[in-house]
Structure 1
């Protein structure tokens, strides 16, 4: 256990979601900044097992190794960052719960939003998360017709036809939760929705929110929503929302993270917040871990299953990942037919491996040899579907935890898989 509340919060998140590499990197950076290099090295080993060529983790590994060898004298003295909004952030007042709202009122809008990172540098607007205006639309999403229909019904239709929506007592307010197995394009779909609406796209991960000072995580979250409202129309996208909005019943030892969940509930609540023009989309692989209060009306009250890509989507994904590479004699439909249980990420890996095989052959001969069907066949033989464990968990939820019908769509999808 650690006495640092933010590291404790992040480790709690990692216990439930060990695949969240950005969160693990944040833990490594925090541990290294506090001179706890042995613990940081242990986390580096876990991170490199997930992504062996991650340059950021490799650099942190070298830094911690050098520090343990005496190459970074004095690094163990942690330096408290200084906020652009308050000179008192490095003082004891900050650790005991600095009044961020009061500080914000003093400085006004001159330096908003004033996100602070671990390196004592104030963020400019948009530095937290990804802020962009996507050019793609749902027409660029191959296949997935059921997902598109659901998006049209639950979000796009009410936005485009406000009078009709009002007549039928519906609206686009609240949030939309995209869920499904990992690597199936939830982020891509959310970005396409923003493009469809001609809106800004603001992507947020948990590492963008959590901060080790008491009250700072809640402040960061508040600033995210304020920025999104100022940039409306805006699609505010929370990736891995289960990590940020984890069930509070599971956070009994982490009061700070519970407060962050409560802040998220407040920001989404239509009774206390004006989110006109802000379309909130969350993505998760584990919707059953999301706090039930976040799925009440006015919050993430609509769920859309983004399942494994269908044949048309698989062709589109394969084409995308091969489009800038020399190819010859590729039958995308034939490859798609052999990859029924593969996620989009799995298909990307197959294309990458096939390209590496062709490149290795080209290096041996000294001449460019395009990617061919036999390369894809060899790559396919080396790549197994990665979503098996997810479907096992989903099956348990469908069979034993679907009393309220929340996962009827998932249950129907799994029945079609079983009948194939």
Structure 2
């Protein structure tokens, strides 16, 4: 297969914008485990043809392989909404639901995909679904929806009836899977580096919440919205959880799968229920990861369902009937340029924090934390930090994983534990490329040419293109 890829690369040199050739090459990359190269190639196709179904489906496959099941599900559902006859999207959605452990819903999706194209039958999926009750419903007691020609979902009259237990279908009885709400024990002391960001969070988030009475004296509500953005793997989720730990607030982490629902109106109900839960348990932090998928620019959405979710989100944040006093809404994104500008209006995400890759001191602190549970003979965090310029926290974890794998190979031969050394880690760092570089290449273009409001000033300062 590697030879075939080389041949395709050569062909693309002569025909770089050939969409079928690009898709074929990207599929080959997936077969060879070259996930990042496949992702970049699918994106090249979509730059020229944003509606290209195979490339969109390919990116959904990539997201699933990267463990981003929520993102993969959203992509697959959008394809189905736009192209109801795309059997492959139903099959992929079945795989995603299997990964998430929702076998009844996986069965429903698989049955619809096979009904559209029996040649896509997958023995592996069928084995996983063996014994699951054939899907008269989607696993939540609802009849399958009819797919209209416009790609939307329409409930039948019977669908709107009450369940046997008296709850309306799609009503307050649905389970958002939020039992894991907690007051995190993690605080800033347990997060290596990020000192400048911690101080910003103290000034913008923690001190106002700790001096709530003073704020009320000035008739100013405590809470609001803060948007965290930056390269992937730099600790946006970690610092959000640590912030909740600092102020001993309830931390409610929301995934896309807990909001997005294929049934008309349910996504909006889910959004409202999430905010109501946070209000009932104030002081609380409501954390949305990959928020660009829930707060996308409405100009990029052709389906009204997506716009309705965004409008619902905006209303919950600062609508006339929304009282979010004591509720802090944190959103994290790697792609702030895809977020609807309405979310950055005062009263919504009116405070923005850039989460950059850790500096040398921060990397050394992270290295010390990561080394605590490893057998290490000697460790020079500073020496390793100097060799890992631009590395994110996730990159540093990858360095430890690579070094551990190398030492484990030797340990299995001898049957003895062999400690890691700084030399092992530096060698592993030389084999790993910083994943933040690609992000900064994209961010630089937006920061230089779409920065009328100064939103990306921190990116320019980090890149040395603006004075601090």
* Alignment TM-score > 0.5, same fold: yes
| 1:357 shift after superposition | 1.1
Q: Describe the shift of the 1:233–1:381 C-alpha distance in structure 2 as closer, same or farther (beyond 3 A).
A: same
Check the 8 A contact 1:158/1:170 in 2, yes or no.
no
Check the 8 A contact 1:114/1:124 in 2, yes or no.
no
Give the SS at the match of 2:463: helix
Aligned equivalents of 1:70, 1:280: Cα separation in 2: 42
2:232 corresponds to: 182
| 1:276 shift after superposition | 1.8
Aligned equivalents of 1:92, 1:23: Cα separation in 2: 24
1:80 corresponds to: 137
| 1:269 shift after superposition | 0.8
**Aligned: 1:199 with 2:249:** yes
Check the 8 A contact 1:158/1:171 in 2, yes or no.
no
Give the SS at the match of 2:377: coil
Give the SS at the match of 1:328: strand
Structure 1, 333-342 or 406-415: larger mean CA deviation: 406-415
| 1:92 shift after superposition | 6.9
Structure 1, 87-96 or 168-177: larger mean CA deviation: 87-96
Give the SS at the match of 2:192: coil
Aligned equivalents of 1:346, 1:151: Cα separation in 2: 24
Aligned equivalents of 1:70, 1:355: Cα separation in 2: 35
Q: Describe the shift of the 1:69–1:230 C-alpha distance in structure 2 as closer, same or farther (beyond 3 A).
A: closer
Aligned equivalents of 1:71, 1:195: Cα separation in 2: 40
**Aligned: 1:277 with 2:336:** no
Aligned equivalents of 1:295, 1:206: Cα separation in 2: 20
| 1:380 shift after superposition | 0.8
1:147 corresponds to: 197
Give the SS at the match of 1:394: helix
**Aligned: 1:297 with 2:363:** no
Give the SS at the match of 2:420: coil
Of residues 211, 215, 219 in structure 1, which corresponds to 2:261? 211
Within a 5 Å distance, the mapping from 1:260-339 to structure 2 comes to 260-269=309-318, 271-339=320-388
Aligned equivalents of 2:433, 2:145: Cα separation in 1: 52
With the length of structure 2 as denominator, give the TM-score of the two structures. 0.70
Check the 8 A contact 2:377/2:420 in 1, yes or no.
yes
Q: Describe the shift of the 1:125–1:184 C-alpha distance in structure 2 as closer, same or farther (beyond 3 A).
A: closer
| 1:313 shift after superposition | 2.0
Check the 8 A contact 1:187/1:283 in 2, yes or no.
yes
Give the SS at the match of 2:399: helix
Aligned equivalents of 2:257, 2:287: Cα separation in 1: 14
Aligned equivalents of 1:174, 1:102: Cα separation in 2: 38
Q: Describe the shift of the 1:37–1:318 C-alpha distance in structure 2 as closer, same or farther (beyond 3 A).
A: farther
Structure 1, 386-395 or 168-177: larger mean CA deviation: 168-177
**Aligned: 1:234 with 2:284:** yes
Within a 5 Å distance, the mapping from 1:91-106 to structure 2 comes to 95-96=154-155
With the length of structure 1 as denominator, give the TM-score of the two structures. 0.77
Q: Describe the shift of the 1:390–1:410 C-alpha distance in structure 2 as closer, same or farther (beyond 3 A).
A: same
**Aligned: 1:160 with 2:210:** yes
Gaps of 5+ in 1: 1-7, 48-53, 116-122
1:119 corresponds to: none
Give the SS at the match of 2:264: coil
| 1:319 shift after superposition | 2.2
Check the 8 A contact 1:132/1:200 in 2, yes or no.
yes
Count of residues paired in the alignment: 382
Give the SS at the match of 2:364: helix
Q: CA-atom RMSD, angstroms?
A: 4.3
Within a 5 Å distance, the mapping from 1:6-17 to structure 2 comes to none
2:452 corresponds to: 403
Q: Describe the shift of the 1:403–1:138 C-alpha distance in structure 2 as closer, same or farther (beyond 3 A).
A: same
Aligned equivalents of 1:267, 1:307: Cα separation in 2: 29
Q: Describe the shift of the 1:13–1:407 C-alpha distance in structure 2 as closer, same or farther (beyond 3 A).
A: farther
1:114 corresponds to: 173
The structure showing larger relative contact order (alpha-carbon pairs under 8 Å, at least 6 residues apart) is 1
Within a 5 Å distance, the mapping from 1:246-261 to structure 2 comes to 246-251=296-301, 253-261=302-310
1:355 corresponds to: 404
1:22 corresponds to: 69
Q: Describe the shift of the 1:273–1:12 C-alpha distance in structure 2 as closer, same or farther (beyond 3 A).
A: farther
Aligned equivalents of 2:178, 2:70: Cα separation in 1: 19
Aligned equivalents of 1:36, 1:71: Cα separation in 2: 22
| 1:316 shift after superposition | 2.5
Within a 5 Å distance, the mapping from 1:365-380 to structure 2 comes to 365-380=414-429
Aligned equivalents of 1:355, 1:168: Cα separation in 2: 55
1:135 corresponds to: 185
Aligned equivalents of 1:225, 1:341: Cα separation in 2: 37
Q: Describe the shift of the 1:73–1:265 C-alpha distance in structure 2 as closer, same or farther (beyond 3 A).
A: same
**Aligned: 1:65 with 2:122:** yes
Check the 8 A contact 1:240/1:282 in 2, yes or no.
yes
Q: Describe the shift of the 1:414–1:80 C-alpha distance in structure 2 as closer, same or farther (beyond 3 A).
A: same
